[in-house]
Amino acid sequence: MFDQLGRWVAPLQSPPRRVVSLVPSQTELLAYLGLDHEVVGITRFCIHPPEWRHAKTRVGGTKDFSVEQILSLRPDWVLANMEENDRERIERLAGQVPVWVSDVRCIDSACNMMEAVGMATGRYVRAQELTNQIQTGFQALGQPLAGRRVLYAIWRKPWMFAGADTFIDAVLRRLGAVNAAACWAGRYPTPDSGQLASSAADLLLLSSEPYPFRMRHAHELAAIGWCPPEVRLVDGAHYSWYGPRLVRLFGK
Span 63-116, pLDDT tens digits:
999 999 999 999 999 999 999 999 999 999 999 999 999 999 999 999 999 999
* Cα–Cα distance measured from residue 101 to residue 87, given in angstroms and rounded to the nearest whole number: 10
Tell me if the bond preceding 49 is cis, omega within 30° of 0: yes
* Cα–Cα distance measured from residue 18 to residue 99, given in angstroms and rounded to the nearest whole number: 12
Considering the domain delimited by 149-250, tell me its CATH architecture.
Answer: 3-Layer(aba) Sandwich (3.40)
| 130 in Cβ contact with 137 (< 8 Å) | no
Closest by CA position to 204, among listed 238, 239, 180: 180
Q: What is the DSSP letter of 246?
A: G
Q: What is the pLDDT of residues 111-133, one digit of tens each?
A: 999 999 999 999 999 999 999 99
* Cα–Cα distance measured from residue 77 to residue 243, given in angstroms and rounded to the nearest whole number: 19
What is the average per-residue pLDDT within 50-61? 96
**H, E, C per residue of 67-125:** HHHHHHCCCCEEEEECCCCCHHHHHHHHCCCCEEEECCCCHHHHHHHHHHHHHHCCCHH
Q: What is the pLDDT of residues 17-34, one digit of tens each?
A: 999 999 999 999 999 999
Give me the phi and psi of 89, to 5 degrees please.
-70, -35
Q: Where in the chain is the domain with CATH 3.40.50.1980?
A: 19-138, 149-250
- Please give the class, per CATH, of domain 19-138: alpha beta
* Cα–Cα distance measured from residue 186 to residue 100, given in angstroms and rounded to the nearest whole number: 26
Torsion of CA 57, 44, 62, 133, to 10 degrees: 90
Q: What percent of the chain has pLDDT over 90?
A: 92
Closest by CA position to 137, among listed 218, 228, 238: 238
The pTM of this model reads 0.94
* Adjacent-strand bridge partners of 21: 79
What is the average per-residue pLDDT within 123-144? 96
Q: Is the pLDDT of residue 15 over 80?
A: yes
Predicted confidence at residue 252, as pLDDT, reads 56
Neighbouring residues of 166: CB distance < 8 A, sequence distance ≥ 6: 105, 187, 188
What is the average per-residue pLDDT within 151-171? 97
* Cα–Cα distance measured from residue 242 to residue 97, given in angstroms and rounded to the nearest whole number: 24
